[in-house]
Amino acid sequence: MPASNTRNAVVVDDEPLICSIIAEILESDGWNVTRTHDALGAITAARESPPNLVVADIDLGMGPTGIDVVQRIRSDYPTVPVVFITNLSDPRITGSGWKSIPADASYIVKTELNSTDALREAVSRAIGTGDAIRQMSDKAPSRALSAIQVNVLQLVSAGLTNAEIAQARETSVRAVERMLNRMIESAGIPPGPTARVQLARLYWNELSGRK
């Protein structure tokens, strides 16, 4: 880690406007910020100037994700504080699992960036000067879903029938029906021909961070 009297931050987001907003907030608080828009740029910046903070968008478009970037940077600086920025409330819909995300990382949804305080609070949590870290589970009511349930919801949202889902998952139609029926009941959705679609919409909105 760099010396304690330095405040170097690497910000990586493939949306230049979002990257600039984050950087300007940090710079106004005295951080020396390196702005990057891709994984290679962020990793290179960290090598050139050891960071005291990494702010990374999870979805960086094609190629490595922000999670990959953080894992690479932390191989050199294991304790560097991390804030993840994303549109998503659950990384599993991008194919990333919960276990791949550092447990001590702070987290903020991009819609919260309309408040400068939200980013400052996320940074404080990450560097340990704020309240207990709000991990991703606090932001995603659907974290209780298993990876299999998330995948089934993806397939329902893609328009697959129960039979097609069963074939894709190499299981029985009855097993798929039981899973969906349990989820429908837990969600308080009335049974009926549109129940599975309502279920997928309900959870998908949560998983993708939509209202």
Radius of gyration (C-alpha) of the chain in whole angstroms? 20
How many angstroms separate the Cα of 141 from the Cα of each of 85, 103, 136?
18, 17, 10
Displacement of CA 145 from its chain's centroid (Å): 16
* pLDDT for res 147: 66
Tell which wins on pLDDT, 132 or 159. Answer: 159
Chain mean pLDDT for the chain: 79
Q: Do 110 and 153 lie in a common domain? A: no
- Above 50 in pLDDT, residue 150? yes
Same domain, 33 and 102: yes
Beta-strand runs (E) in 63-203: 82-86, 106-109
* Residue 75 and residue 51 share a domain: yes
Residue 1 lies in a domain: no
User: Is residue 133 helix, strand or coil?
Assistant: coil
Q: What CATH number should be reported for the domain holding residue 183?
A: 1.10.10.10
The SS3 of residue 107 is: strand
Which residue, 183, 182, 186, 156, is CA-closest to 169? 156
pLDDT at 65: 86
User: What are 10-27's pLDDT values in tens digits?
Assistant: 999 988 888 998 999 999
Q: How far apart are CA 178 and CA 183, in angstroms?
A: 9
The answer to whether residue 22 sits within a structural domain is yes
Same domain, 134 and 154: no
Q: Same domain for 194 and 103?
A: no
Please tell me whether residues 103 and 167 are part of one structural domain.
no
Question: Are residues 111 and 53 both part of a single domain?
Answer: yes
Same domain, 57 and 126: yes
Residues 164 and 113 in one domain: no
The domain boundary residue, chosen from 98, 115, 140? 140
Helix (H) / strand (E) element for 175: namely helix 173-186
83 phi/psi in degrees, rounded to 5 = -120, 125
- Tell me, what CATH number does 62's domain have? 3.40.50.2300
CA geometry: angle 13, 17, 22, nearest 5 deg = 65
Query: What pLDDT score does 100 carry?
Result: 59
Domain region containing 32? 8-140
Together in a domain, 18 and 80? yes
Residue 60 CA, distance from chain mean position: 11
Q: CA–CA separation, 147 vs 94, rounded Å?
A: 12
How many C-beta atoms surround the C-beta of residue 172 within 10 A? 12
Each residue's pLDDT tens digit, 47-90 = 998 999 999 998 888 888 888 999 999 999 998 999 988 776 55
Same domain, 103 and 122: yes
* Domain count along the chain: 2
Residues 6+ apart with CB under 8 A from 9: 26, 31, 32, 33, 34, 51, 52, 53, 54, 55
Q: Based on the domain organization, do 170 and 106 belong to the same domain?
A: no
